Amino acid sequence: MEVKGYLLPDDLYYEPNHSWGRVEGDVVTVGLNDFAQKLAGEFVSVDLPGVGKKVQQGKPVAAVESGKWVGRIYAVVSGEVVEVNENVEDDPTLLNTDPYGEGWVFKVKMDDPAELANLMQGEKAARWLEEEIEKHAK
């Protein structure tokens, strides 16, 4: 789906700090959404978490920096980091050019799939993004 020029794939889960999650079995791939990457501009660095790190839903896990913005990428679910995308560390602009593909940041083996109910999808995610767009337009 597209919301006012920003991509918001229907198959993903979204949390309010602009992280997204793609569920594949008990592993969730996490990245930064299209709106956040466009707002931030070109990324210059990504600080990845360590494999084995325990993470909590809604808490910051990775750090990103662009020429005008320093931010965090949040865990969409609680669990353990099982993989990181070293390609984004080498080329942070992957967050800009392919935020939902090659620009993924880390993968978490989730502790409790019931946490997915705390996230947004579909129309709920679209309404939330419209509000975020309005907030940043002021």
- Model pLDDT, residue 69: 86
Contact indicator for 128, 136 with CB cutoff of 8 Å? no
pLDDT tens, 126-137? 999 999 999 988
* 136 assigned to some structural domain: no
Contact indicator for 56, 30 with CB cutoff of 8 Å? no
Look up the domain containing 55 and give its range. 2-130
Contact indicator for 76, 30 with CB cutoff of 8 Å? yes
* 137 assigned to some structural domain: no
- Model pLDDT, residue 132: 95
Average of per-residue pLDDT across 27-49? 96
pLDDT tens, 85-102? 999 999 999 999 999 999
* 9 assigned to some structural domain: yes
DSSP assignment of 60-80 equals EEEEEEESS-EEEEE-SS-EE
In angstroms, the CA 107 to CA 67 distance is 26
**Average per-residue pLDDT for the chain:** 96
Structure tokens at 103: 């620009």
Number of compact structural domains in the chain? 1
* 28 assigned to some structural domain: yes
- Model pLDDT, residue 43: 97
* 67 assigned to some structural domain: yes
- Checking if the pLDDT of 138 tops 80, the result is no
